[in-house]
Every structure is written in structure tokens, then in C-alpha cells.
């Protein structure tokens, strides 16, 4: 893992910028309060919230959600989406209300209809199936997931066995493993590293899911290397900049927090990791919620400092609702703790950009969410 990860924009993002022509100009984000001192000024305990930054939407999620919205603007309802476009209940419900129809497989999409592939990516077989059924497709796979797919294809073609650190059954892992099923072995965690079997004499390299815990992944790799000293490292990190930055922000505030609240859905890997990271780094308690309704007021018993963050697929509105609720319960002081600035934006999928251009519509990627996330809640 790069030492700079989490302290500003890490190498993988620069690599991705070089690798993808469709990365567009950054937007600016106004400076927030400094994260250098998160300790209250006086000895008197003040009920407060430490608001982690970065939090919420990443560039890949912003692009995927905007792709569905623009497709709806362009073609009208229904637009089919294979799997949840991003792992967030609120986002899915909002798009459903606009006419998006979420399906599990391309088989569920009527012949000839338009289907959007989610940010988590799909295996080549899914593209083939879609072509067989004459579906029109928009591929909203995050470019940083595509980068891992390309690495898998490259190393498989060079006869490596790829040890893919990730969660079996997670859509991203299914998609990446589908690039070279015969050459990829999934390693779920450090314990699995102690027991997996690989054929003798093969060259080995590891890759990973983009949304894992950085620390746990490094432990998995350490244990793999004990058994397979010839294991090679990937050319750049696969755990993406957004996952790393959100974990660094949580590590910074966790030691100060009696309670950490993480907004994010249960199937959001990076959100679930934030709950774990908070506990590992000193938060007394840590809970994940989909929305403000899930807060149990009993969690506030004896709590002076609440930490608040959100996963990479979470709209800022849900964080603002939590801030309003905790303010009503006596936690009106909000200190935003900034550990990195993010200004990455990905252009919309090329096929969608072409169609928007032909229809004389804007293909700009600056969404309302990006603007909303750029300012502190009032
Ligand atoms: Fe892309 Fe990372 Fe966001 Fe996943 S979490 S969509 S890999 S930027």
C-alpha cells in the first residue's frame, strides 16, 4: 500500500487519471475547518459532532447515478438497471420513483430494451448475454473497477495465478473474477490466506476488491506472502482513493468518539468497513444506519462526542438529516475534520455522452450532489 494513501490524493488516482481519457476537469471544494486539532479547547466536555471529511459520494458513484438520471432524461421511463446501480437504498428508491427498473439479470430485461450496468462492474459473459438479446447497454462500471479488470486480463494472459482479495459473491468480485475464472482464486480474509491452495510452480500476483479495509487487506497479503514468498504486488493499489480516504478520516476522529455513526446500506462494503475501522481505532461504539430513522436514542447515553461519516454511495442529504437530529438532541456543535481534499470527477460513459451530444443535451458530470457535498450543513 502506498504510504501516501489517505493523506491527499493517492497514487492510484493519479494512475487512473493517466489511464482513462474520460477523466474530466476537477471541481473545486471550499476549505473546511482544519483537521489538525480535534480536541475540545477547554476542559469542560462540550457535546459535539466530529464530521469526517471526505465522506459520501465518490467519483464512481456520482458518475453511475448521473448516468441513470441522464438516460431517463434522454429516453424516458423505463430504463432497466442490472443490480443496484450503487449499494444504497435511498439512491435506488429515488431512481425507481423516476422510472428506473432494477433487475437481477439481463434475462429480466425485455429484448431490445436499454440496460445500465452498475458501478460494480460485470463479467464479460454479461456483455455477451446482453448482445445476444439485442439489448442496448450503458456501462456505468467505475473506471477504477475497470482498471482492476484490465489488470486481471493482463496478468491472466501472462499465465499468473491471481489471488483476488475480496468478498466472494460481492458483485465487484464476481465481475472481476469473471474476466479469467480459470486463473483467479478469491481470498476472502487473513484466515483464508492461511488455507487456500494453489497449484505448484505458478507465478502468483495479488489484486483486490476496491472497497476493502486497507489494514485487513495488508494483513491478508502478509499472511499470503508467508506461505508464498514469490507472491508479487500489483503495479498500483486496487483499494480506491475514496475507500482509503474515508478510512483515514475515520481513523483520525475515532479515538475522540464515544459513538461513531456511519450512514450507509448493509450491502455497501466500504460503509461496513468504516464501522469496523472506527472500532479498531478507538471509537467506544460504532453503528451503521441507512437513514436517521434507524438511530436509537439510547446510543446517546453518556456520549459527549459523536463521530459522523458516510460511505461512498451515500447522498449528503442523509448526513444532513442525521446532523439535524443530533442537534435536536443537544449536539449542535459540528466540527468538520478534513484529512484530504477530493476533486476527482469521471466523465459519463462514452456511449451515453455520444447520445446526449446527438440530442443536444448536456453531458456535464457536475451533479447537484457534488455541489451539495461541497459545503458544510447549515
Ligand atoms: Fe469507484 Fe471507489 Fe467509488 Fe467504488 S468506491 S465506485 S471503486 S471510486
CA–CA distances in Å: residue 152 to residues 155, 209, 227, 291: 5, 12, 22, 36
At 156, is the secondary structure helix, strand, or coil? helix
Mean pLDDT of 162-179: 98
Task: Quote the pLDDT of residue 20.
Answer: 28
Tell which one of 5, 23, 59 to mutate to probe ligand 1, the residue whose CB is within 8 A of the most ligand atoms: 59
Q: Is the pLDDT of residue 378 over 80?
A: no
What residues line ligand 1, using a CB cutoff of 6 Å? 58-61, 119, 142, 144-145, 210-211, 240, 242-243, 270, 312
Q: What is the pLDDT confidence band of residue 42, given thresholds at 50, 70 and 90?
A: low
Protein residue closest via CA to atom 8 of ligand 1: 60
Task: Quote the pLDDT of residue 364.
Answer: 85
Q: Is the pLDDT of residue 11 over 70?
A: no
CA of 41 to the centre of ligand 1 (A): 36
- Percent above pLDDT 90 for the chain: 84
Could you tell me if residue 372 is inside a domain? no
Same domain as 97, residue 134? yes
Task: Quote the pLDDT of residue 365.
Answer: 77
Q: Which of 111, 141, 171 is the last residue of a domain?
A: 141
CA of 211 to the centre of ligand 1 (A): 7
Same domain as 149, residue 137? no
Task: Quote the pLDDT of residue 366.
Answer: 63
Tell which one of 57, 60, 212, 373 to mutate to probe ligand 1, the residue whose CB is within 8 A of the most ligand atoms: 60
DSSP string computed for 193-212 = HTT----TT-EEEEEE-TTS
Could you tell me if residue 373 is inside a domain? no
Could you tell me if residue 84 is inside a domain? yes
Question: Per DSSP, which regions of 54-169 are E strands?
Answer: 79-82, 100-103, 114-117, 136-139, 160-165
CA–CA distances in Å: residue 328 to residues 154, 199, 319, 334: 54, 60, 14, 13
Mean pLDDT of 219-238: 96
Higher pLDDT, 13 or 175: 175
Q: Which of 160, 192, 227 is the last residue of a domain?
A: 227
pTM over 0.85: yes
Task: Quote the pLDDT of residue 45.
Answer: 77
* Torsion sign, CA atoms 283, 287, 293, 299: negative
State how many domains the chain has. Answer: 3
Backbone angles phi, psi at 186, to 5 degrees: -85, 135
Q: CATH number of the domain that 102 lies in?
A: 3.40.50.11270
Question: Which among 172, 180, 73 has a CA at the least distance from the CA of 117?
Answer: 172
CA of 72 to the centre of ligand 1 (A): 23
Q: CATH number of the domain that 182 lies in?
A: 3.40.1010.20
Same domain as 252, residue 321? yes
Could you tell me if residue 268 is inside a domain? yes
Same domain as 309, residue 263? yes
What is the domain range of residue 96? Answer: 61-141
| Closest-lying ligand 1 atom to the alpha carbon of residue 64 | 6
Residues 331-367 pLDDT 10s = 999 999 999 999 999 999 999 999 999 999 999 876 5
CA of 86 to the centre of ligand 1 (A): 10
Residues 64-122 pLDDT 10s = 999 999 999 999 999 999 999 999 999 999 999 999 999 999 999 999 999 999 999 99
| Closest-lying ligand 1 atom to the alpha carbon of residue 119 | 6
Q: Is the pLDDT of residue 35 over 70?
A: no
CA of 142 to the centre of ligand 1 (A): 6
| Closest-lying ligand 1 atom to the alpha carbon of residue 210 | 7
Cα–Cα distance for residue pair 344/143, rounded to 1 Å: 12
Q: What is the pLDDT confidence band of residue 7, given thresholds at 50, 70 and 90?
A: very low
Residues 298-322 pLDDT 10s = 999 999 999 999 999 999 999 999 9
Same domain as 137, residue 223? no
Catalytic residue among 69, 151, 172, 179: 172
Q: What is the pLDDT confidence band of residue 9, given thresholds at 50, 70 and 90?
A: very low
Could you tell me if residue 367 is inside a domain? no
Could you tell me if residue 126 is inside a domain? yes
The question of whether 172 is a catalytic residue gets the answer yes
CA of 303 to the centre of ligand 1 (A): 33
Could you tell me if residue 172 is inside a domain? yes
Protein residue closest via CA to atom 1 of ligand 1: 60
Task: Quote the pLDDT of residue 194.
Answer: 98
Residues 177-195 pLDDT 10s = 999 999 999 999 999 999 9
Same domain as 330, residue 261? yes
Amino acid at each position: 500500500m502506498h504510504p501516501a494513501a489517505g493523506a491527499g490524493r493517492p497514487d492510484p488516482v493519479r494512475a487512473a487519471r493517466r489511464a482513462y481519457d474520460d477523466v474530466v476537469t476537477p471541481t473545486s471544494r471550499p476549505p473546511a475547518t482544519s483537521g489538525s486539532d480535534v480536541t475540545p479547547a477547554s476542559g469542560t466536555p462540550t457535546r459535539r459532532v466530529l464530521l469526517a471529511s471526505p465522506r459520501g459520494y465518490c467519483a464512481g458513484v456520482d458518475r453511475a447515478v448521473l448516468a441513470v438520471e441522464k438516460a431517463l432524461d434522454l429516453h424516458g421511463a423505463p430504463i432497466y438497471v442490472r443490480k443496484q446501480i450503487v449499494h444504497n437504498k435511498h439512491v435506488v428508491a429515488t431512481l425507481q420513483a423516476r422510472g428506473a427498473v432494477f433487475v437481477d439479470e439481463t434475462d429480466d430485461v425485455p429484448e431490445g430494451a436499454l440496460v445500465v450496468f452498475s458501478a460494480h462492474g460485470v463479467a464479460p459473459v454479461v456483455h455477451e448475454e446482453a448482445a445476444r438479446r439485442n439489448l442496448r447497454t450503458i456501462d456505468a462500471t467505475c473506471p477504477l473497477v475497470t482498471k482492476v479488470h484490465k489488470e486481471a486480463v493482463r496478468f491472466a494472459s501472462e499465465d499468473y495465478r491471481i489471488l483476488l482479495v475480496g468478498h466472494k459473491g460481492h458483485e465487484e468480485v464476481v465481475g472481476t473474477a469473471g474476466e479469467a475464472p480459470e486463473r483467479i482464486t478469491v481470498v476472502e480474509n487473513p484466515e483464508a490466506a492461511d488455507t487456500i491452495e494453489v497449484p505448484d510452480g505458478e507465478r502468483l500476483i495479488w489484486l483486490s476488491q476496491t472497497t476493502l479495509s486497507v489494514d485487513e487487506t495488508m494483513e491478508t497479503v502478509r499472511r499470503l506472502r508467508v506461505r508464498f514468498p514469490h507472491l508479487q504486488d500489483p503495479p498500483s493499489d486496487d483499494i480506491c482513493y475514496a475507500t482509503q480516504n474515508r478510512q483515514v478520516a475515520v481513523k483520525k476522529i475515532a479515538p475522540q468518539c464515544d459513538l461513531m455513526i456511519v450512514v450507509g446500506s448493509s450491502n455497501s462494503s466500504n460503509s461496513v468497513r468504516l464501522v469496523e475501522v472506527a472500532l479498531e481505532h478507538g471509537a467506544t461504539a460504532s453503528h451503521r444506519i441507512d437513514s436517521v430513522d434507524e438511530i436509537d436514542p439510547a446510543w446517546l447515553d453518556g456520549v459527549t462526542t459523536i463521530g459522523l461519516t458516510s460511505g461512498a454511495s451515500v447522498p449528503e442529504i442523509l448526513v444532513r438529516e442525521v446532523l439535524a437530529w443530533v442537534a435536536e438532541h443537544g449536539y449542535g456543535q459540528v466540527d468538520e475534520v478534513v484529512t484530504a481534499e477530493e476533486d476527482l470527477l469521471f466523465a459519463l460513459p462514452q456511449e451515453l455522452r455520444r447520445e446526449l451530444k446527438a440530442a443536444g443535451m448536456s453531458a456535464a458530470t457536475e451533479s447537484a450532489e457534488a455541489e451539495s457535498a461541497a459545503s458544510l450543513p447549515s
